[in-house]
Chain A
Amino acid sequence: MMKKITLFSVIYFACTLLLSAQNINRISVHMKSEALKEGKKFEHEADIYYSPQNGKYVSHHYQPKEFIKITNRTGEMKLYFPEENTVSTQQNSLFSSENEMLHYFVNNLTEDLGLRKEGFRLHETKNEEPYEIMIWKAPPTLKMVDEVKIVFKDMMPVFSSYKDGAGNTIRKIYYTGYQHFSQFILPQRITEITYTSAQDSTIRRTHYKDIKMNEDVNPYYLEFKIPEDATSIK
């Protein structure tokens, strides 16, 4: 019974937000990502532009190297390097804009964070005040991950963890600093800890800021056309 109530609550909350999300034509965020391993860090910065209505997703990466990535729902991905005026086109469903983190939050698909689409099945739900917990089992084809736990607080995912077949936690993700908009919610900081061995781990944290919507979004990148004279590279 508890399982049903939990599931219903999460889905209801998501559906409510989903209806209001239809009003978003475009959104932009600034992303800064840092990865840390063995005392060394690697930084990456980009501006992301996303149109939930047509699924167009453009990211302008300018640190450490400038390039523009354009993807759509079908998985067509174009990488454009302005300095060299070169473009690379790839096609794979895994490149779909619907696999992007922003897609899940802006479209209020946070009840499973894309797990169902990846073939996961809901195994268990439980309540540990003030948290609602969902346990998802991986499809048999996914050898490396056996189970994913998603923890919700106030209907927002605050934590998820991945376990392998031996029951070892291989990854933890913390979602913090939620910013509430009328149409959706978005964590401003996502911290991922990946355990590469019993003694070693990698930390990656991503900050989202300068979130803009609709008329406030600079339309340049969502309307960006790759120059026709760009040299195509494989």
Chain B
Amino acid sequence: MKKVLLVTLMLGFIGFLAQPVAASAYSLDEQKVDALFEQAETTTMSIFDETAPAHLPALAPASEQSKDPLVAILLDFFVGYLGIHRFYLGTKTLTGIGYILTCGGIFGVVPLVDLIVLAINYDDISPYINNPAFFMW
């Protein structure tokens, strides 16, 4: 009986050592994420209100004229990986081209953040107009 117990303990110990990669390395604590979203405040959807122009306009050259945040958001949403929303808001040519070189295809990391930043700061997007930095936020 002692032998059986000893073998069982040894097997258990070996099993413990041979445990697969911690599940947490590649799995997500969904409850934690759910809680974050539940606690978050929903961004006002005034960005798509009835009075706003609901279309993509011709690309205006960067200037001091006021920029419509809705337009910037729509451009970012659809063609963000081309950096066109940055051209619209006004930036250095190389910054816009940098978007194409670094974030094309499925790697829309920066445009994704731009989109959220523009949505959250809809009431005042002036910091992002004529902003020469690659990361405008």
> A170 is contacted by which of B20, B41, B45, B109 (Cβ under 8 Å)?
B109
Task: Tell me the chain B residues, 9-23 only, with Cβ under 8 Å from chain A.
Answer: 20-21
> A131 is contacted by which of B26, B36, B54, B101 (Cβ under 8 Å)?
B26
Residue of B nearest to A88 (CB): B56
> A90 is contacted by which of B28, B43, B79 (Cβ under 8 Å)?
B79
Least distance between B77 CB and chain A CB atoms (Å): 8
Contact A88 B55 (CB under 8 A): yes
> B109 is contacted by which of A67, A77, A83, A171 (Cβ under 8 Å)?
A171
Per-position 1/0 for A67-85, Cβ under 8 A of B = 1010000000101010110
| A174 to B40 CA separation, bound complex (whole angstroms) | 21
Say whether, besides A40-B120, A42-B119, A142-B102, A81 and B112 are in contact (CB < 8 Å).
no
Say whether, besides A39-B40, A176-B28, A176-B30, A162 and B57 are in contact (CB < 8 Å).
no
Does A141 count as interface, using CB distance less than 8 angstroms? yes
Residue of B nearest to A141 (CB): B101
Say whether, besides A41-B42, A205-B33, A84 and B55 are in contact (CB < 8 Å).
yes
Task: Tell me the chain A residues, 216-234 only, with Cβ under 8 Å from chain B.
Answer: 233-234
Least distance between A229 CB and chain B CB atoms (Å): 15
Contact A205 B26 (CB under 8 A): no
Residue of B nearest to A77 (CB): B78
Least distance between B2 CB and chain A CB atoms (Å): 32
Say whether, besides A34-B37, A128-B21, A141-B101, A194 and B43 are in contact (CB < 8 Å).
no
Does B115 count as interface, using CB distance less than 8 angstroms? yes
Per-position 1/0 for B59-101, Cβ under 8 A of A = 1000000000000000000110110000000000000001001
| A36 to B37 CA separation, bound complex (whole angstroms) | 7
Given A65-B54, A94-B82, A151-B26, 17 further pairs, Cβ under 8 A: A42-B116, A64-B47, A77-B78, A79-B56, A84-B55, A86-B55, A88-B56, A92-B79, A129-B20, A141-B101, A143-B102, A176-B27, A176-B30, A194-B109, A202-B112, A202-B116, A234-B59
| Leading 5 A-B pairs by shortest Cβ distance | A159-B26, A65-B48, A144-B102, A41-B40, A174-B28
